[in-house]
């Protein structure tokens, strides 16, 4: 059933290795003998640790991908960017508001976007990065939060930006502002938290904590299940 797996040549920082074509870049680096310390994280496309830049032999175009989410191809020249020294503005969320005035103080460079769209082209999550920067400029934090949501903070956008914008940190601040100030709080949650803090729900649960296994099992087996 299992045909012989084809091999391909890849170039890790310029050095050639022959690896099975079914592997992701991460797996291929390990197959080649690397013990990874940086440039490897969740291995499932959630953490942004393994941002990778590559080019195919004979082509001038630089491509990007997450090493754990990209299959190797024959003639792939690649290097990882395991860290990028992007700036983060520190803030106290309670002292700022979702306003352009506050945002300008935290991330003034956001307003110097040149509109080149390099960030959007480079995003491995296919996020329209430049568009959310534009929303931030306009003070539309709701839209910025929405379209930047799938960001993994891998830093590739920052590596290509001629205006030195740190998109992923600006986006995270926008999302926190949205979550804190624009999205409405859940009314019942506030009430429930208060009831717990006041000890109003203690009696009900203490009765269960004190119950023996037989009683608990019976309650569990016969509990009502919401449709």
Quick one: 133 or 174, whose CB is closer to another protein? 174
**Contact indicator for 82, 49 with CB cutoff of 8 Å:** yes
Binding positions for another protein, 18-47, rule CB under 8 A = 22-24, 27, 30-31, 33-38, 40-47
123 binds another protein (CB under 8 A): no
Closest approach of Cβ 89 to another protein, in Å?
9
Quick one: 62 or 208, whose CB is closer to another protein? 208
Spatial CA neighbour of 38 closest among 21, 15, 29, 70? 29
225 binds another protein (CB under 8 A): yes
Which of residues 9, 11, 55, 71 is near another protein by CB under 8 A?
Answer: 71
Which of residues 16, 87, 88, 138 is near another protein by CB under 8 A?
Answer: 88
Q: Segment contacting another protein (CB under 8 A): 8-16, 107-115, 155-163, 193-201? A: 193-201
Which of residues 12, 129, 153, 170 is near another protein by CB under 8 A?
Answer: 153
Closest approach of Cβ 95 to another protein, in Å?
11
Mapping DSSP to helix (H, G, I), strand (E, B) and coil, where does residue 153 land? coil
- Maximum pairwise Cα distance, the chain: 73
Total number of residues binding another protein (CB under 8 A)?
A: 75
**Contact indicator for 113, 163 with CB cutoff of 8 Å:** yes
38 Ramachandran zone, left/alpha/beta (phi>0; psi -120 to 50): beta
Per DSSP, 58 falls in state T
Quick one: 60 or 223, whose CB is closer to another protein? 223
Query: Alpha helix (H) ranges present in the chain?
Result: 25-31, 100-106, 118-122, 129-138, 141-147, 156-160, 167-177, 187-197, 202-210, 213-221
186 binds another protein (CB under 8 A): yes
14 binds another protein (CB under 8 A): no
Closest approach of Cβ 118 to another protein, in Å?
21
Which of residues 57, 93, 114, 116 is near another protein by CB under 8 A?
Answer: 93
Q: How many CB atoms lie within 10 A of CB 50?
A: 29
2 binds another protein (CB under 8 A): yes
Residue indicated by tokens 């891998």? 154
Phi, psi of 117 (to 5 degrees): 70, 15
């Amino acid at each position: 059933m299992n045909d012989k797996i084809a091999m391909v040549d890849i170039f890790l920082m310029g050095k050639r290795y022959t690896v099975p074509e079914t592997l992701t870049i991460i797996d291929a680096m390990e197959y080649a003998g690397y013990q990874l310390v940086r440039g490897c994280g969740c291995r499932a496309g959630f953490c942004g640790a393994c941002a990778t830049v590559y080019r195919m032999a004979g082509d001038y175009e630089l491509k990007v991908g997450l090493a754990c989410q990209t299959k190797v191809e024959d003639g792939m020249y690649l290097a990882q960017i395991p860290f990028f020294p992007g700036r983060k503005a520190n803030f106290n969320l309670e002292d700022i508001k979702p306003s352009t005035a506050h945002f300008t103080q935290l991330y003034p460079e956001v307003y110097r976007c040149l509109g080149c769209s390099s960030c959007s082209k480079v995003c491995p999550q296919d996020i329209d990065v430049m568009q959310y920067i534009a929303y931030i400029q306009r003070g539309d934090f709701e839209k910025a939060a929405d379209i930047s949501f799938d960001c993994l903070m891998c830093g590739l956008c920052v590596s290509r930006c001629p205006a030195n914008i740190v998109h992923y940190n600006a986006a995270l601040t926008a999302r926190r502002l949205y979550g804190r100030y624009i999205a409405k709080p859940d009314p019942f949650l506030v009430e429930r938290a208060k009831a717990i803090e006041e000890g109003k729900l203690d009696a009900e649960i203490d009765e269960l904590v004190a119950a023996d296994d037989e009683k608990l099992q019976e309650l569990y087996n016969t509990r009502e299940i919401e449709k």
